Amino acid sequence: MHPTPLCLILLLCTAAVAGPDSQPRISATRSRALETELLDAVRKVGFDQVRDWRHQGERIAHPPNVDVAVIELDAEGRPVAVANVLLSRDYPRGKAVPIDAGTLGTQAVRFTRWDLERWDGQKGWADAPPGDDLVPGREKAPLRFMAPYPASLFKILIAYGVMRRVERGELTLDTPYRFLRDTVDKGERPLRGWLEPMIVESDNGSTEALVKLLHERGAMEAMNAEYAELGLGTLQVNGTSPVTGRNWQPGSIHMTALDTARLFLLINGGPGVLWRTKEGRAVTAEELSEPARNFLKKLLADQGYAEGLSSTLVCGDANARPGIPTAVPARWLAADGTATVGVTAFKRDTRPCNAAAEVEFLHKTGQTENYGSDAGIVRALPGKEPRQYVIAFLSNLGYRYYDEGVAGTANFADEENGFPGTVTAIGFTQSIAELGRRVDEAMKQRRQTNR
């Protein structure tokens, strides 16, 4: 038997792990370690210690519903490890989700639509009734989880859906669109003039315009189907108004962390197969062209709300906890370091935290009274410790929940302005930022130990 030449062995091995039709290069060992680190981070941040303004400042009645996923990337953007953890009253210590290395997805969780009455105790906490499942065929899945409303994080679904129409030649970024909200004329802009404020300052009016545009083109149902074809079946926008572009309701608009993380992985791009659907379809970065992906990444990089998994907008506050060490984009900053995002003014000098930034965070946040979310792409700034990963966080930790340190600012008698955040400008419980910091530290350490 003649030995195989070394050069041929190297060629075959390279093709097996990095060729255009290869499987994702997921390491089972790295994924198990990432799972352990993510579970440990979720347990240590104290989500069960937050206070509930709606219950007179008492501690949250149950562990909140938290869904967080992380995909570790190599230097070229290929996924090398993945983990997903759920926290809820079913899993008060957190639960790691079994993930298939080929699909980067899971069939092990029965995801059900959010029901605030069930969460708040007006209904029993039990298996969801028929019809509440986000994807069919999971009734006997070993895990169950009621998926929190994503709030404004869902705007990335609209942006991606619009860019798909641009890719197909149905629209261009310069296509003019006049938005008639019912009978009210909201003006005309090129398509990019609606997309940019929707993402960078989370402008609701721009989102309404683009939702109505998608309705007018018969694209809303098609958009949900396109996500399902990518294996991202829990990403759904249902029930919106074709007249106003509004009617964004919990229980109708859905996202889960693992599917959201894979969507951001697709936007980030990378060589080869990023994942395969359970039907075997190879999903690559070519789902969107490089110019389209770069356009979306530029918007996400300019997104002004450096809060949620980061805390730069509340830099220097005694009650702030360090989060993902990112900077507020310069376009929002005044000379004194204070930020104004859209019409919202933040009165803290962000310069110390901006100077200490280690990563760029291309992300989208979402927050309402009852829900808080943040997801995006993290990559090291030049000269900083290298790491690159995607993180997605969804929860029912909206601004009604706050931390012990700001408890004295709550005014329970003021229904309109009594939330602590209206006094402190800290809108997110800082346990979310702390989770971001713990994950980022773990990702930095992982890259150091695997050089």
Mean pLDDT check: name the lowest of 20-24, 73-77, 227-231, 244-248. 20-24
| Whole-prediction pTM | 0.94
pLDDT class for 121, splitting at 50, 70, 90?
Answer: confident
**Taking phi first (over 0 means left), then psi (-120 to 50 degrees means alpha), and beta for anything else, what does residue 230 get?**
alpha
3-state secondary structure 105-147: CCCCEEEECCCHHHHCCCCCCCCCCCCCECCCCCCCCCEEEEC
pLDDT class for 407, splitting at 50, 70, 90?
Answer: confident
pLDDT of residue 127: 67
pLDDT of residue 322: 98
Q: How far is CA 287 from CA 32, 161, 211, 272, in A?
A: 29, 12, 21, 12
pLDDT class for 221, splitting at 50, 70, 90?
Answer: confident
CB within 8 A of 372, min separation 6: which ones?
Answer: 151, 308, 366, 395, 396, 397, 398, 399, 401, 428, 429, 432
pLDDT class for 18, splitting at 50, 70, 90?
Answer: very low
Task: Write out pLDDT tens, residues 155-191.
Answer: 999 999 999 999 999 999 999 999 999 999 999 999 9
pLDDT of residue 11: 33
Mean pLDDT check: name the lowest of 33-42, 122-131, 358-367. 122-131
pLDDT of residue 125: 84
- Select from 10, 233, 252, 5 the least CA-distant residue to 136: 233
- The secondary structure of residue 333, as a DSSP letter, is B
| Rg of the chain in Å (alpha carbons) | 22
